[in-house]
Chain A
Amino acid sequence: MDWFLANLPFVLELSGHHLYQSVLPLVLGLLISVPLGYLAWRLPSVRGVILSVSSVLYTIPSLALFVILPVILGTRILDPANLIVALTVYAIALLVRSVVDALESIDDGVRQAAVAMGYRPFRRFFAVDLPLAVPVLFAGLRVVSVSNISLASVGALIGIRNLGVLFTDGLLRHFLTEIVVGIVMTLVLALLMDFVLVGLEHLLTPWNRHRKARSKQVLVATTGPDNSGSGDSAGTARRPDAAETAVLHESL
């Protein structure tokens, strides 16, 4: 703890770098994955190619990618851009599939309705498809955000400044505290990002909130009285149906 307080500015600086190096690839990855995922979804012919290439990308060992990228990009070996590009590649690898899944999760009837009302494809994508894809898409984003934050540490091995430095340095000096601080700060960043993403999703899906609120209400109504007794799982499993119909009737 003393070490942590004494080195607070240093740790915070590393955390700042770390956050920047993992969030920027997330954003870039999303911007690239949405059009790629849209293509894969609309054109069955390119779908297989896009999806298999993106899965193969994820199997490239991260360290190898960090080392090879400067050769391909012509950047210096210590340039943080290498890390950002590498993490963007991993983000794309995971997100393209998420985008396809998210677009496929949309009820076909809703899409038919949008077509029948006279939406042209471009406008329909932004007005109907994308907003409705948000819940599934954000599930993917949350996974990638956590994965990016943990992968970014590997960058320390090629001399990039972020929380990974605490691991390499701690290991060299056989100083456990520094490593623990690194782990804790990585966790804190991951949690922080997850909170931000959950909040963002909440803001973007007011329509889903009502649905959730209703099912939550149902759960409270059913589990409330049951909590006092022993948890009869069969009984509680059956009850939401009845309560849900009650809520439905109420809204009739």
Chain B
Amino acid sequence: MTEAQSVAPPASAGSSPMVQFRNVSKSYASGQPAVHNLNLEIDRGAITVFVGPSGCGKTTSLRMINRMVEPTEGTVLVDGQDVSAQPAAALRRSMGYVLQSSGLLPHRSVLDNIATVPRLNGVSRRQARIRAEELLAVVGLSPALGKRYPAQLSGGQQQRVGVARALAADPPILLMDEPFSAVDPVVRAELQQELLRLQQELAKTIVFVTHDIDEATVIGDKVAVFATGGRLAQYAPPEELLRAPVDDFVAGFVGRDRGFRSLSFASARDLPLLPAATATAGTLASMPAEGWLLITDDGGAPLGWLPPGQRTPAAAVTGGSLFTIGSSLRQALDAALSSPSGQGVAVDAAGRVAGLVDAGEVLQRLDAERRG
């Protein structure tokens, strides 16, 4: 696979890949191949995302890792070992698995659900429950939820329990099959951030399937784009995918505003800030009437913009995203474009106004980067 070889060395350079697909194909009796001659190496300790339209073989590929699906041709290696030579049940217990809509066992309490795999491995009920309680905290759930049944939890909570269950036996590999697709966008974004936070602590090898290219670029250290017919179209880090899609299919799949989204990966660390004219409700009266004025609270956090000539707090226009210093050019540009005054508000880590960003500055900077 040329794409695989052309990308930067894996995060843990020197160690062998955790999962390898070698000439793997899967076809069903109905004809159409589900996966066609897949060659792919999945890095240890990184998040690899399989993304593609429905019917592209991404879930089938994932399920070949734990033998929920057997390949028609080729071999799948985990940690250098051919999976087909290992007993299926034991192999599955050695990997965490998170499904869409969590797949929790409805007749087991939350704690017993989390304890499932350790119990299958012969750990005592007591021990398994103690571990389950720890995991509840790890995924950010209150211990009081442990005695409830899955039907008594919200969708987001169920997904967290699903993640906790997958982590219970402390497997080196987590397989996640569209785990967040059944929750609403706000909860999904929350769960994505939570997963990235967890991953920083745990450094598991995660294989994550999604049909959402945005989710793929947010979460993935590397993204494998599958095309219809089970063909691997491109395998690259997300920024490369957005910057240099290999063909029209990938370009079409990553979407029309990929140029804007690729700014997510460009650092705005040295972006110059303009001085901001600010006032608090108390000092408002003494400010000149020309130009836009930013009002802040006493702690320096932005509250809203006053249009030229208007200097009463009631006239404040809110809205516009904030740019946190040190984040991406995408956030800086978005702050500038969405601001009523045309200049984005930059805040420091504590949320205090640090200055203003100008859309023109962002574009100039991009230009400079391209030349230099």
B142-159: which residues lie under 8 A (CB-CB) from chain A? 148-149, 151-154, 156-157
Chain A 93-109 interface mask (CB, 8 Å, partner B; 1/0):
00000000000000101
Chain B 61-75 interface mask (CB, 8 Å, partner A; 1/0):
000001010000000
9-residue interface stretch from B85-93, B205-213, B249-257, B346-354: B85-93
Chain A 6-18 interface mask (CB, 8 Å, partner B; 1/0):
0000000000000
Alpha-carbon separation in the docked complex, A117 to B151 (Å): 20
* B105 contacts A by Cβ under 8 Å: yes
Tell whether, in the assembled complex, residue B90 and residue A118 are in contact, meaning their CB atoms are under 8 Å apart. yes
9-residue interface stretch from A62-70, A75-83, A204-212: A204-212
* B117 contacts A by Cβ under 8 Å: yes
Tell whether, in the assembled complex, residue A116 and residue B107 are in contact, meaning their CB atoms are under 8 Å apart. no
* A131 contacts B by Cβ under 8 Å: yes
Tell whether, in the assembled complex, residue A112 and residue B108 are in contact, meaning their CB atoms are under 8 Å apart. no
Q: A214-B152, A252-B154 are in contact. Are A116 and B105 (CB under 8 A)?
A: no
Tell whether, in the assembled complex, residue A117 and residue B92 are in contact, meaning their CB atoms are under 8 Å apart. yes
Tell whether, in the assembled complex, residue A210 and residue B93 are in contact, meaning their CB atoms are under 8 Å apart. no
Alpha-carbon separation in the docked complex, A251 to B149 (Å): 12
Tell whether, in the assembled complex, residue A117 and residue B120 are in contact, meaning their CB atoms are under 8 Å apart. yes
Tell whether, in the assembled complex, residue A210 and residue B120 are in contact, meaning their CB atoms are under 8 Å apart. no
* A176 contacts B by Cβ under 8 Å: no
Q: Closest CB of chain B to A250's CB: distance in Å?
A: 10
Q: A113-B99, A116-B66, A207-B107 are in contact. Are A251 and B92 (CB under 8 A)?
A: no
Tell whether, in the assembled complex, residue B68 and residue A113 are in contact, meaning their CB atoms are under 8 Å apart. no
Which residue of chain A is the closest to B148 with respect to CB atoms? Answer: A210
* B308 contacts A by Cβ under 8 Å: no
Alpha-carbon separation in the docked complex, A73 to B109 (Å): 48
Residues of A within 8 A of B234 (CB): none
B84-128: which residues lie under 8 A (CB-CB) from chain A? 88-93, 97, 99-108, 116-117, 120
Q: A113-B97, A210-B149 are in contact. Are A205 and B107 (CB under 8 A)?
A: yes
Tell whether, in the assembled complex, residue A116 and residue B154 are in contact, meaning their CB atoms are under 8 Å apart. no
Alpha-carbon separation in the docked complex, A113 to B165 (Å): 11
Chain B 149-176 interface mask (CB, 8 Å, partner A; 1/0):
1011110110000000100000000010
Specify which of A114, A119, A132, A207 is in contact with B149 (CB 8 Å cutoff).
Answer: A207
Residues of A within 8 A of B100 (CB): 109
Q: A128-B105, A207-B107 are in contact. Are A118 and B93 (CB under 8 A)?
A: yes
* A53 contacts B by Cβ under 8 Å: no
Tell whether, in the assembled complex, residue A119 and residue B105 are in contact, meaning their CB atoms are under 8 Å apart. no
Alpha-carbon separation in the docked complex, A110 to B107 (Å): 10
* A238 contacts B by Cβ under 8 Å: no
A106-163: which residues lie under 8 A (CB-CB) from chain B? 107, 109-110, 112-120, 123, 128, 131-132
Which residue of chain B is the closest to A213 with respect to CB atoms? Answer: B152
Q: A117-B97, A207-B149 are in contact. Are A109 and B154 (CB under 8 A)?
A: no
Residues of B in contact (CB 8 Å), total 32
Chain A 203-238 interface mask (CB, 8 Å, partner B; 1/0):
001111011001000000000000000000000000
Tell whether, in the assembled complex, residue B154 and residue A113 are in contact, meaning their CB atoms are under 8 Å apart. no
Which residue of chain B is the closest to A128 with respect to CB atoms? Answer: B105
Q: Closest CB of chain B to A213's CB: distance in Å?
A: 10
Q: Closest CB of chain B to A124's CB: distance in Å?
A: 10
Tell whether, in the assembled complex, residue A118 and residue B89 are in contact, meaning their CB atoms are under 8 Å apart. yes
* A1 contacts B by Cβ under 8 Å: no
Tell whether, in the assembled complex, residue A251 and residue B153 are in contact, meaning their CB atoms are under 8 Å apart. yes
Alpha-carbon separation in the docked complex, A118 to B88 (Å): 7
Residues of B within 8 A of A119 (CB): 89, 120
Tell whether, in the assembled complex, residue B117 and residue A251 are in contact, meaning their CB atoms are under 8 Å apart. no
Specify which of B90, B116, B151 is in contact with A210 (CB 8 Å cutoff).
Answer: B151
Tell whether, in the assembled complex, residue A112 and residue B154 are in contact, meaning their CB atoms are under 8 Å apart. no
* A43 contacts B by Cβ under 8 Å: no
* A248 contacts B by Cβ under 8 Å: yes
Q: A118-B89, A118-B90 are in contact. Are A113 and B103 (CB under 8 A)?
A: yes
Alpha-carbon separation in the docked complex, A211 to B108 (Å): 13
Q: Closest CB of chain B to A105's CB: distance in Å?
A: 12
B271-309: which residues lie under 8 A (CB-CB) from chain A? none
Q: A207-B108, A214-B152 are in contact. Are A110 and B89 (CB under 8 A)?
A: no
Alpha-carbon separation in the docked complex, A60 to B151 (Å): 44
Among A109, A117, A211, residue most surrounded by chain B Cβ atoms (within 10 Å): A117
Q: Closest CB of chain A to B208's CB: distance in Å?
A: 15
Tell whether, in the assembled complex, residue A116 and residue B68 are in contact, meaning their CB atoms are under 8 Å apart. yes
Alpha-carbon separation in the docked complex, A113 to B68 (Å): 10
Q: Closest CB of chain B to A44's CB: distance in Å?
A: 14
- 9 closest residue pairs by CB, A with B: A113-B103, A118-B93, A118-B92, A116-B97, A207-B107, A252-B154, A118-B89, A207-B149, A109-B103
Which A residues contact B (CB, under 8 angstroms)? 107, 109-110, 112-120, 123, 128, 131-132, 205-208, 210-211, 214, 248, 251-252
28 example contacts (A-B, Cβ-Cβ < 8 A) are as follows: A109-B100, A110-B106, A112-B68, A112-B103, A113-B97, A113-B99, A113-B105, A115-B68, A115-B92, A116-B97, A116-B175, A117-B97, A117-B117, A117-B120, A118-B91, A119-B89, A131-B107, A132-B105, A132-B107, A206-B149, A207-B149, A208-B107, A210-B151, A210-B152, A211-B149, A251-B157, A252-B156, A252-B157
Which B residues contact A (CB, under 8 angstroms)? 66, 68, 88-93, 97, 99-108, 116-117, 120, 148-149, 151-154, 156-157, 165, 175
- Given contacts A110-B105, A119-B89, A210-B148, could you give 11 more A-B pairs where the C-beta distance is less than 8 Å? A110-B106, A113-B102, A113-B103, A116-B92, A116-B97, A117-B165, A118-B89, A132-B107, A207-B107, A210-B152, A211-B151
